[in-house]
A and B are shown apart, each in its own frame.
Chain A
Amino acid sequence: MSFNNLDTLYRQVIMDHYKNPRNRGSIEGNPMTVDMNNPTCGDRIQLQLLVDDGIVKDAKFDGEGCSISLSSASMMTQAVKGKPVDEALKMSELFSDLMQGKDIDEEDIDLGDIEALQGVSKFPARIKCATLAWKAMEKGVEEEKED
């Protein structure tokens, strides 16, 4: 049986992040906490961010969801950790473009593992799974900015 079509969605690196999530857990101290869910399917994420001096010092997540939403959260925390807030937001924008199937300028910012999620754009029903963690991150840093 051929799984070619599915393989564009479930790339090995995605399954690796799903099986061995990076940055899963919570941050001690007083991090910014964002709870977000996808009410249509029940996916739920709690994202914690430690932002200091305009830099995302730490990012951790917890929650429940499918392989796409949890691997995306794992990759997102990995990607934004240590980055300036503006760059994190720029990555989020790029990710959104990636999900909409737009061509992205890869020289601009290195998305690393995240590019493996490109295949999700061919599965419209699953795009929301992939963007949940990024939406939480955007909300978190925007609230941080307002404070």
Chain B
Amino acid sequence: MDVKAVRDEFPILHQEVNGHPLVYLDSSATSQKPIRVIEKLDEYYRGYNSNVHRGVHTLGTKATDEYEGAREKVRRFINASSTQEVIFTRGTTTAINTVAASYGRANLSEGDEVVITPMEHHSNIIPWQQIVKETGATLKYIPLQPDGTIRLEDVKETVTSNTKIVAVMHVSNVLGTVNPVKEIAQIAHDQGAVMLVDGAQSAPHMKIDVQDLNADFYAFSGHKMCGPTGIGVLYGKKALLEKMEPVEFGGEMIDFVNLYDSTWKELPWKFEGGTPIIAGAVGLGAAIDFLTDIGLEEIMEHENKLAAYAMQEMNKVDGMTIYGPENRAGLITFNLSDVHPHDLATVLDSEGIAVRAGHHCAQPLMRWLEVSATARASFYLYNTEEEIDRLVAGLKTTKEYFGDVF
């Protein structure tokens, strides 16, 4: 992969921040957008902005073709067997909430269990907390190993015949752990439960095959994979989606509307109430083309190299604590001596380096790590080893700056 050529496609990367060339290390929060995605949005709004699925006019047909074309791109991207299994949502959060509110509400009752892990993002915790309160079911956690990994023995121990839903993140946004979701899905299925995979941190970085994973639901966000904000995907197996009730009712999702009763459109549209996220979907389609042209295998290889290099270099800095396992996805969560992550992030920002500081929407995991906050550097296809050198230099600067204090 030619990183320089990749970087040339991202206009935002070519700027100075606080007098230094920008080093953007916060792609796990949101990725930057290549010019072809930005131009695709521009083209949509300038050229054929129109509502979908209803107009007889030419622009409406073009918008519908592009919107549904994007769905086909998503289908291929995750290897779903049909576009009926690809629902556009606002993002991962909405996708998981849809499963909790629809599948959860219909299938959970007292005595049933939902199983998750303590490393989940809030978006894969709170929807389940809410739905178990409503249905009388119980929320259970698969315990973590000290290095932040999951053992399949523990999954087998936690998932029982009372378990109806298992929901686990594919890649941890804090620890970088790559979870064995395929094996966990097998255990869930053996007990008659369905498996939801939170793919927010995996879909942007690795080849996803939902059929191979045998996930019943797979959720991800467009904005973390070079697409626009406000678009995401819920993949679900057709047999399950067909039995599920929509959670949003209104235009676009109906078949017949009578005075006191209505019927729904077929899949996937019954889950897409209201004017859909047309520009977002079209932009996501362009992002998928971009990632596919480069190749997900190449992207993952590049990120793995960066992560290994960053681990090696960051570990050389005095007072460095890195959280999570040795083998990890392209992100590193850390603390530097007693310097609070906010202070650290402010010093790095003054050097033009953007990292995340805080609890990363994973408060239960922060408590498990026994820290109140951490800093995180996350990498994507456009990052370079030189940028990691800048980060390491910035960390040394931070130490130097706060050296007198601690």
Contact = CB atoms under 8 A, between A and B. Distances in A.
Interface string B361-372: 001001000001
A43 B366 CA distance: 12
8 contacts: A5-B18, A6-B347, A6-B350, A42-B363, A64-B372, A65-B340, A65-B342, A126-B342
A46 to B, nearest CB: 13
Contacts of B347: 6
10 A-B pairs with least C-beta separation: A66-B342, A66-B340, A42-B359, A41-B358, A64-B372, A42-B373, A15-B405, A42-B372, A66-B343, A67-B343
Majority SS at the chain B contact face? helix
| Size bracket, chain B contacts | 20 to 34
Contacts of A126: 342, 346
Interface string B13-29: 00000100000000000
A42 to B, nearest CB: 4
Contacts of B340: 65-67
A19 interface: yes
B45 interface: no
Interface string B301-319: 0000000000000000000
A6 B346 contact: yes
A44 B346 contact: no
A32 interface: no
Contacts of B397: 1
Interface of A: 1, 3, 5-6, 9-10, 15, 18-19, 40-44, 64-69, 123, 125-126, 129
A9 B401 CA distance: 12
Interface of B: 18, 340-343, 346-347, 349-350, 357-359, 363, 366, 372-373, 397, 400-401, 404-406
Nearest to A64: B372
A124 B346 CA distance: 11
Given A6-B346, A41-B359, 12 more contacts: A1-B400, A5-B350, A6-B401, A15-B404, A19-B406, A41-B373, A42-B359, A42-B363, A42-B372, A43-B342, A43-B373, A126-B346
B188 to A, nearest CB: 32
Contacts of B341: 66
B393 to A, nearest CB: 10
Contacts of A1: 397, 400
A3 B399 CA distance: 13
A1 B65 CA distance: 56
Nearest to B358: A41
Given A5-B350, A41-B359, A64-B372, A129 B405 contact: no
Contact of A44 (B18, B372, B404, B406): B372
A18 B402 CA distance: 12
A67 B400 CA distance: 16
Contact of A68 (B342, B400, B406): B342
A41 B357 contact: yes
A3 B405 contact: no
A146 B18 CA distance: 47
